[in-house]
Amino acid sequence: MTQSDEGLLAPGEPVDLDNCAREPIHIPGSIQRWGVLLAVTEPDLVVRHASANVDALLGRDVEDTVGATLDDVLGKVASDQLRHHLRTWGDLRARNPVVVTAQTPAGPVEMDAVLHRITSGPATLLVVELEAALGPRPFSFPNTYQAVRGAIEQLNHALTLDELYDVTAREVRALTGFDRVMIYRFDAEYNGEVVAEAKRDDLNSFFGLHYPSTDIPPQARALYEKNWVRLIADVSYVPVPLVPGLDEHTGLPLDLTHSVLRSVSPIHCEYLGNMGVAASMSISLLRGGRLWGLIACHHYSGPHNPPYGVRAAAEFLGSSLSLRLVARADERALEEQLAAAAALGHLLAASRDGDHALADALVGRPGTGAASALDLVPAQSVVVRAEGRVATAGETVDDVEALLAWVEASPDDVAVRTSLREQEPALADALPSVAGVLAVRLPDDQCVVWLRHEAVRNVDWGGDPHNKAIARREGDTVRLSPRKSFERWSEVVSGTSEPWTEQQVRSAGELRSRLLETLLVRNQWQLRTAQNVQRSLLPQHLPEIDGWSVRARYEPAAGGQVGGDWYDALELPGGRFAVVVGDVAGHGLGAAAAMGQLRNTLRGFLLRGDDPGQALRWVDHVARLTMPMDMATVVVAVVDAATGEVDVSVAGHPRPLLLDAVGGAALSDVAVDRPLGAGSGTPPVTRLTLEPGGGLVLYSDGLVDSRQTDLRAGLRRIVTLFERDDATTPVDIDEVMDACRDDASVDDLTLLVLCRDT
């Protein structure tokens, strides 16, 4: 048998510590001996595979079992119970276990049947795993919840992560009876740390110990993400083979990914045996479907087999902990995001102050309490080069020129390093006191760079994590086996800085994006040019159409920044006319220039006679080919002046307001496609009819979304502003602009109101 395409070992190939990361543990070809596995066809329930120990539980020879029906193997009562369950429930695993009364040589015996289906070539097989029916009966969700209700209450009252861990460890131990229960948390590289523990008093503590990622190889972690509970009732068990050993369709052993009896890696059993563990159970802790950690249970005094109901209750408790961990992590992430957003706002406000050099504004002026880049990303030092000036804050930097030369040569807009000694040895020589660098590059060799010192720390491992490397150095005569010593082994980790968190890297990237805008704003010539471009492209006069009125306003963002907003209104052939509001992402000359190109391109397609969807499709095509770095949102409405029918198409833009003939206002229910530059290629068109006295309001997001007003509140506000007690009285759009103006906003304000006369 050759290796699979995934590079896994062929079934039956010897496994040692050197190749265990390629062991195909989902197809071991065997099970643990505390239950029996039958794989049967449906709907006739003929046994195609059976574990060789079927005689121990059912008193039937395995050769006689394979090929027989479940009526013959379990008896008519048990097989009818299974048939009823299969007819009644679609999701089998959600309803496990099924209590069946099997016929044995000793008479009828109640057993737990755990069911799931697997793929076998073109067909599927029903896997029936039988084990002794122990624990409270009947087993049900209420029973599971009752078993852990007290623990759930304690979790609800836990105020810290440590309390969550401790409660879970204690309650799982009380529930399952294991000698030791640990909460095991992974880092980004899947090295583990014991962060909580409940144990027998006479056992030594594992709390605080670390374990290398190689203790749980990648394919084992992948299984933990699919099958949340794994029990080894007896570490010294002899695997029970399946008969026949290979699937007739695939030529491989059966896929036992979701099996509760699945045999485990002999390397892992040896590992546990070296620890003195006689039985083990693991419960997955997940975040977003990915493995975050484990509840690891160890038993030392002999085999230990908690009944299915207890295992399910423990799994339920683990899921509850996972949900709370995710909630706490999300709360912490939100707090970090809000703090970063506040620091970024202060920093950008300082950077827009034209009375001070940009470099000085970013490092913070000493003695003024002004914001500093060190408030955004904590570090020992920050170096800024901007507009030809270099400024620093924090501790003295050994060789600023070498640092700036390295940033200039870096290909990355945002460069992250945590160990200069390993990652950038030449720079480490120039900066001997620095271990970590976070740098953002700006145009014209400008940059912002944060520096961190080495963070020396002691890590306590559960045994020497370098066991495998030591064995290799000792030569071919040493077998690569799991380490035998798990005594506390301390290692000094040096040469690295505190890691840059995802939020800190995001904040640095966001600062870079916003500084690109600031640099444009600070260039007065470009600003004046952008303003001139903007004004020249807005219509000098709005068309006068019999029976209709069009009013529009545009204001640049507070502080005079020019963005990419525009409005347009033009008459079309055939008694039609079009109104448009658009918004190019960004500010300054580049956004204004992109706006001009998109505005004129859209005009051309509309004048050609295209409907709004066709016109936006072609403009998106042009933008992708000629303006790949730009993106814009647009709403287009083409109106039949005689009938009042309006075709509307929206590309990533806020939906228009629809004004009715009696004074009401509401967001229109139109479909919204992706923005120009990233469109779907087929923007939908929605047809509306404006009755006499009705109207349509197009606007940019600056009117409804700002730092001081969230989007929902902004939409409610603009709807309220356009509601009228008297439909014959037009809304004063200047009052609307005044009400929506926000001095803290960085977005333009654009408003266009189309009304059909009564």
Whether 259 and 235 have beta carbons less than 8 Å apart is answered as no
According to the model, what pLDDT value does residue 129 have?
94
According to the model, what pLDDT value does residue 563 have?
66
- Distance, in Å, from the CA atom of 199 to the CA atom of 169, rounded to the nearest integer, reads 9
According to the model, what pLDDT value does residue 20 have?
46
According to the model, what pLDDT value does residue 367 have?
56
Q: Are residues 566 and 624 in the same domain?
A: yes
- Distance, in Å, from the CA atom of 648 to the CA atom of 667, rounded to the nearest integer, reads 13
Q: Are residues 377 and 488 in the same domain?
A: no
Q: Which residues contact 331 (CB under 8 A, 6 or more apart)?
A: none
- Taking 50 as the threshold, does the pLDDT of residue 472 lie above it? no
- Average the pLDDT over 134-162 and give the result: 71
- Judge residue 274's burial from the number of C-beta atoms within 10 Å of its C-beta, 0-12 exposed, 13-18 middle, 19 or more buried: middle
- Average the pLDDT over 546-569 and give the result: 81
According to the model, what pLDDT value does residue 689 have?
93
Angle at 203 between CA 201 and CA 209, to 5 degrees: 120
Whether 572 and 638 have beta carbons less than 8 Å apart is answered as yes
Nearest Cα residue to 21 out of 9, 10, 5: 9
Nearest Cα residue to 224 out of 281, 269, 174, 171: 281
Q: Are residues 644 and 739 in the same domain?
A: yes
- Distance, in Å, from the CA atom of 646 to the CA atom of 542, rounded to the nearest integer, reads 18
Q: Where are the alpha helices (DSSP H) in 253-307?
A: 266-274
- Taking 70 as the threshold, does the pLDDT of residue 518 lie above it? yes
Could you list the residue range(s) of the whole structural domain that residue 368 is in?
A: 352-455+496-522
Q: Are residues 488 and 602 in the same domain?
A: no
Within-domain flag for 344 = no
Q: Are residues 120 and 78 in the same domain?
A: yes
According to the model, what pLDDT value does residue 366 have?
59
Within-domain flag for 446 = yes
Q: Are residues 558 and 662 in the same domain?
A: yes
- Taking 80 as the threshold, does the pLDDT of residue 460 lie above it? no
- Distance, in Å, from the CA atom of 211 to the CA atom of 192, rounded to the nearest integer, reads 5
- Taking 50 as the threshold, does the pLDDT of residue 479 lie above it? no
Q: Around 749, how many Cα atoms within 13 Å sit in the side-chain half-sphere? A: 24
Nearest Cα residue to 285 out of 318, 246, 308, 329: 318
Token pair 């066991």 is found at 467
Dihedral sign of CA atoms 372, 375, 377, 381 in order: positive
Task: Quickly state the pLDDT bin for 487 (edges 50, 70, 90).
Answer: low
Average pLDDT, the chain: 83
Q: What are the tens digits of pLDDT across the range 71-80?
A: 999 999 999 9
Point out the domain boundary residue: 98, 132, 166: 132
**Pairing relationship of beta strands 645-651 and 672-673 according to DSSP bridges:** parallel
Whether 126 and 45 have beta carbons less than 8 Å apart is answered as yes
Q: Which residues contact 566 (CB under 8 A, 6 or more apart)?
A: 534, 537, 538, 554, 580, 581, 582, 583, 595, 599, 750
- Taking 80 as the threshold, does the pLDDT of residue 558 lie above it? no
CB 49: neighbour CB atoms within 10 A? 23
Nearest Cα residue to 68 out of 104, 38, 95: 38
Instruction: Please indicate whether residue 47 or residue 372 has the higher confidence score (pLDDT).
Output: 47
CA distances from 592 to 601, 602, 620 (A): 14, 15, 17
- Taking 80 as the threshold, does the pLDDT of residue 676 lie above it? yes
- Taking 80 as the threshold, does the pLDDT of residue 484 lie above it? no
Query: Which amino acid is present at 610?
Result: D
Strongest mean pLDDT among 55-59, 184-188, 324-328: 55-59
Task: Quickly state the pLDDT bin for 485 (edges 50, 70, 90).
Answer: very low
According to the model, what pLDDT value does residue 438 have?
93
According to the model, what pLDDT value does residue 143 have?
60
List the structure tokens of 309. Answer: 């109901």
Q: What are the tens digits of pLDDT across the range 489-510?
A: 455 456 788 889 888 999 999 9
Token pair 């005044």 is found at 738
Query: Which amino acid is present at 198?
Result: A
Distance of CA 211 to the CA centre of its chain: 26
- Distance, in Å, from the CA atom of 449 to the CA atom of 243, rounded to the nearest integer, reads 64
Query: Which amino acid is present at 658?
Result: L
Q: Are residues 442 and 480 in the same domain?
A: no
Nearest Cα residue to 648 out of 679, 690, 619, 604: 690
Q: Are residues 646 and 569 in the same domain?
A: yes
Q: Around 452, how many Cα atoms within 13 Å sit in the side-chain half-sphere? A: 24
pTM: 0.54
Question: Percent of the chain beyond pLDDT 70?
Answer: 85
DSSP characters over 81-118: HHHHHHHH-S-SGGGPPEEEEEEETTEEEEEEEEEEEE
- Distance, in Å, from the CA atom of 580 to the CA atom of 568, rounded to the nearest integer, reads 5
- Taking 70 as the threshold, does the pLDDT of residue 82 lie above it? yes
Within-domain flag for 139 = no
Within-domain flag for 277 = no
Q: What are the tens digits of pLDDT across the range 404-419?
A: 999 999 999 999 999 8
The CATH number of whichever domain residue 110 belongs to comes to 3.30.450.20
**Pairing relationship of beta strands 695-699 and 686-689 according to DSSP bridges:** unpaired
- Distance, in Å, from the CA atom of 357 to the CA atom of 160, rounded to the nearest integer, reads 44
Point out the domain boundary residue: 132, 166, 193: 132
The CATH number of whichever domain residue 702 belongs to comes to 3.60.40.10
- Paired with 242 in beta bridges are 51
- Taking 80 as the threshold, does the pLDDT of residue 160 lie above it? yes
- Taking 60 as the threshold, does the pLDDT of residue 468 lie above it? no
Within-domain flag for 213 = no
Distance of CA 485 to the CA centre of its chain: 38
- Taking 70 as the threshold, does the pLDDT of residue 462 lie above it? no
List the structure tokens of 404. Answer: 């700036």
Q: What are the tens digits of pLDDT across the range 733-752?
A: 999 998 888 776 778 889 99
CB 603: neighbour CB atoms within 10 A? 17
State how many domains the chain has: 4
Whether 266 and 297 have beta carbons less than 8 Å apart is answered as no
Q: What are the tens digits of pLDDT across the range 26-72?
A: 788 899 998 999 999 998 999 999 999 999 889 999 999 999 999 99
The size of the chain, in residues, is 758
Task: Quickly state the pLDDT bin for 483 (edges 50, 70, 90).
Answer: very low
- Taking 90 as the threshold, does the pLDDT of residue 682 lie above it? no
CB 204: neighbour CB atoms within 10 A? 10
- Distance, in Å, from the CA atom of 248 to the CA atom of 252, rounded to the nearest integer, reads 8
Q: Are residues 483 and 511 in the same domain?
A: no
Q: Which residues contact 402 (CB under 8 A, 6 or more apart)?
A: 427, 430, 431
Helix pair angle (588-608, 524-537), 10° resolution: 20
Q: Are residues 380 and 474 in the same domain?
A: no
Q: Are residues 605 and 506 in the same domain?
A: no
Q: Are residues 540 and 680 in the same domain?
A: yes
- Distance, in Å, from the CA atom of 185 to the CA atom of 209, rounded to the nearest integer, reads 11
Within-domain flag for 313 = no
> For the chain, how far is it from start to end, CA to CA, in angstroms?
83
- Judge residue 72's burial from the number of C-beta atoms within 10 Å of its C-beta, 0-12 exposed, 13-18 middle, 19 or more buried: middle
Within-domain flag for 39 = yes
List the structure tokens of 92. Answer: 């089998």
Nearest Cα residue to 294 out of 181, 156, 137, 145: 181
- Taking 90 as the threshold, does the pLDDT of residue 666 lie above it? yes
The CATH number of whichever domain residue 426 belongs to comes to 3.30.450.270
Within-domain flag for 320 = no
Angular region, 652: left φ>0, alpha ψ -120 to 50, beta rest = left
- Taking 60 as the threshold, does the pLDDT of residue 5 lie above it? no
Nearest Cα residue to 313 out of 92, 145, 114, 115: 145
